[in-house]
Amino acid sequence: MSRLPTYYVSHGGGPWPWMREQTGGRYDRLEASLQAMAQAHHGQVRAILMVTAHWETPDFTLSSSPQPGMLYDYYGFPPHTYQVHYRAPGSPELAQRALDLLQAGGVTARLDPERGFDHGTFSALQAAYPEAQIPVVQLSVLQSFDPAAHIAAGRLLAPLRDEGVLIIGSGLSYHNLRLLNAAGTVPSQQFDAWLQQTLTAASPDEREAQLLQWEQAPSARIAHAREDHLIPLMVAVGAAHDEAGACVYHEDLFMGVVAASSFRFGEVV
């Protein structure tokens, strides 16, 4: 079985795949990038490990239900978006395998048999895998947001890539809802330029060193006043720590106002 790359994807806002009448074509390029990701690995993906920005826990936690429910973790959206379903199965087996890898590396981790899919998972996967047939396990991010801990967790989880598991960090490369307007345009582009350089041009060692100091990047704390949507990137990078990065999606004016990007680490085989 070929080794799968890892991804960090910008997952968009709320339940956007179910809001085409309201959003028009604003998500067309993001949707195309997620579809391209799925097509690049057609027939290779046995399961998906989704590192979601929308689940914060004291210790790493894995969803282990065989049939996860839905978490409508957004506010102010049309009524029908609180009835949507992404019906992919879970995988208790993958959850246990990931737990074992983390614990073998000395990392405290737990299983959660009740956790349902949040929109950081189901919106991106609805675009990429609308048939919802591939099993999905969610991995939380730590409440500490410690970059080193997430990079280390990614390294421990790397063997899953040889087992047909697609590791996806789901967040948003710019996430400051108070500045999701013209005031965020330049800061978002400044931070995005740093991301591009760090993730696609730096050596693997330099990349990790710079990510550990991400707060020093241009406009870092404007782009991420709270880094929940950046931290899934660290797991994706850690799981492909010695492999090159590539930008697989970019818009200078996502939603008409800010720069946003997604990245792949490792080669498409």
Note the pLDDT tens digit of each residue in 35-86: 999 999 999 999 999 999 999 999 999 999 999 999 999 999 999 999 999 9
Q: Is 233 inside a domain boundary?
A: yes
Q: Is 1 inside a domain boundary?
A: no
Q: Which residues, given as ranges, of the chain have pLDDT below 70?
A: 1
Residue 54's identity, in one-letter code, is H
Tell me the pairing of strands 109-112 and 60-63. Answer: parallel
Q: Is 13 inside a domain boundary?
A: yes
Domain that includes residue 41, residue range = 6-265
Q: Is 134 inside a domain boundary?
A: yes
Q: According to the model, what pLDDT value does residue 114 have? A: 98
Q: Is 57 inside a domain boundary?
A: yes
Q: According to the model, what pLDDT value does residue 41 have? A: 97
Q: According to the model, what pLDDT value does residue 1 have? A: 67
Question: CA-CA distance, 194 to 83, in Å (whole number)?
Answer: 39
215 CB-near residues (< 8 Å, 6+ apart): 221
Q: According to the model, what pLDDT value does residue 52 have? A: 98
Report CA torsion sign: 217, 222, 223, 228.
positive
Helix (H) or strand (E) holding 30: helix 28-40
Tokens 């948003």 belong to: 172
> What CATH number is associated with residue 235?
3.40.830.10
Tell me the pairing of strands 136-142 and 47-57. Answer: parallel
Q: Is 162 inside a domain boundary?
A: yes
Helix (H) or strand (E) holding 118: none
Tokens 């790397």 belong to: 158
Q: What's the number of domains the chain is made of?
A: 1
Q: According to the model, what pLDDT value does residue 74 have? A: 93
Q: According to the model, what pLDDT value does residue 256 have? A: 86
Q: Is 151 inside a domain boundary?
A: yes
